[in-house]
Amino acid sequence: MKRSELKAFLDHKVETYNTVDFIKDDPIQIPHQFSLKQDIEISGFLIATIAWGNRKSILNSGERLLKIMEHSPFDFIKNHEISDLKVCEGFVHRTFNAEDLQYFFTALKALYQKYNSLEDIFVKHQSAESLQTAIHHFKKEFMAFGCPKRTQKHISDPLKNSAAKRLNMMLRWFVRQDKNGVDFGIWQNLSPALLSCPLDVHTARVARKLGLLKRQQNDAKAVQELDKNLRKLDSNDPVKYDFALFGLGVYEGF
C-alpha cells in the first residue's frame, strides 16, 4: 500500500473511532466526569496507571477510586491527612494494591504543593523530539517521597526501554487537541506533535500488518519506530492514529 493510500485508509478509521461513542467503554470515561483541570489530571493519571486487563474491571476499579476520593480528586489530594489513607484499605486492581495507592496519594499531594499542575513537570523536562525523556523525569520526581520498592513498577520508564503505554495514553488524553471531544487538550504548553502512540498488543499487531512497525518487541525502541512512521502521515497530530490502530485491532480483528 502506498503511503498516500495508507494515510487515507487510516484517516478514515480515525474518523470512525475518534468520536464521543469511544468514551463509554474506555478508561477515559473516568476523567470525563470532571471539568476542573486538576480533577481531570488526578483521576486520569490514576485510571491510566491501572489500565491493564479487562476494560470493565478497569472501569469498576476507577469508580472505586473516585468513591475513595469522595468524587473530588483535587480536594482529597490537597487536604487528606495520613490518617485519611485508611480508606485505601482493601483496594486492589491486579498487582496494584492499597499500599501502592497510599503512596500515590502521598506523592500527588507533595507534587501539588510544588506545582500547580502535573503538566509543569513535563514542560520542564520536555525535549525537542518527544516526551519520553519527560516521562523518565516525571517518574523520578514522583518516586522521590519514600516510594516503596513494590510501587516503583507501576510507573514505566522509557529510558529503561519500556513502551510506557499507560503514560503515553495519559499524555494523549491531556495534550492532544481533539475537536471531537474525546481527548481533553488541557495541557496546552506541550505540543501534540511530541506525543507517542500508546503501544499495546492490539496497536502493535495492526501496525506490523500495515508495515508501520518491524520491531517484534513492544518496547521503547518500537515506540520510536512507530512514532517516526506515524509522523510521516501527520506531523502535527501523529497519535490520532492510535484510534485507528486500536479500533482496527479490537473492533475489527484486523
236-250 confidence digits (pLDDT tens): 999 999 999 999 999
Give which of 143, 138, 165, 153 is closest to 53, Cα–Cα.
165
Does residue 23 contact residue 47 with C-beta atoms inside 8 Å? no
User: Mean pLDDT in the chain?
Assistant: 97
- pLDDT of 253: 84
Does residue 76 contact residue 111 with C-beta atoms inside 8 Å? no
- CA dist 112 and 115 (Å) reads 5
Residue boundaries of the structural domains of the chain: 3-250
- pLDDT of 151: 97
58-80 confidence digits (pLDDT tens): 999 999 999 999 999 999 999 99
Whether the pTM exceeds 0.75: the reply is yes
Predicted confidence (pLDDT) at residue 1 exceeds the cutoff of 90? no
**Set of cell numbers at residue 190:** 506541550
Does residue 121 contact residue 134 with C-beta atoms inside 8 Å? yes
